[in-house]
Structure 1
């Protein structure tokens, strides 16, 4: 089973991490021009579900920024979802670029999103590139797994 590439670790014990303070008017971490509340915040709050695989990918990236493990687990396909999720407190996400999408719209049941995510881990800069797979289950898009790319 492949873990979500955004540096989550499975753990037998939960670890508390400080969440990024996002407000409705904060710029959304996913990079779209809307404020957090109109963009990924509406998905994180449960007010709406992401209508496409790409928007789910963006909202999951923003959840990593905000260290919202509950949202990440809730949007993970049950067949690959870990029992617990430990987010690395030394990881600081600094930007998301969507490279490609295949399917993943209202008219599909599966889709892929290829992305690059920039980060700083304990002061060292890096970039993660992954092709993530998504499946729509009962109308909700869920993250299935991902393949790391170079």
Structure 2
């Protein structure tokens, strides 16, 4: 199963506080363990919400809202994409993670939808179209 592992923002990350050399090294070692185990498929840190924007949808209207955003607990500071056998395996990997922040922090794990989750609505034609798009994405990122 594929999961997104979401590193929640903290007041420090939203203030733009950069990690120490020690934390960068510890996270690099952890990422190497994930890659060696065949778990990590991708991941990155994110700049504070002050560098971002949101687009609010209301019917046909679109409203752009520039950051920063007030609710730090609802923001993310980084993510990984992992391929694991189960949620239990993902949890065990997260338990081994160095604290990614200088203060208390939280990491959320969310499974991706798989084609079977959509049932009959995800027709063979739609599955082929998604496969084609994923192949195109893969070719562009090489």
Using the size of structure 2 for normalisation, the TM-score is 0.28
Work out which of the two has the higher radius of gyration on C-alpha atoms and give 1 or 2.
Answer: 2
Which structure: greater helix fraction?
2
Point out the structure with the larger strand share.
Answer: 1
Q: Quick one: higher RCO (CA 8 Å, sep 6+), 1 or 2?
A: 2
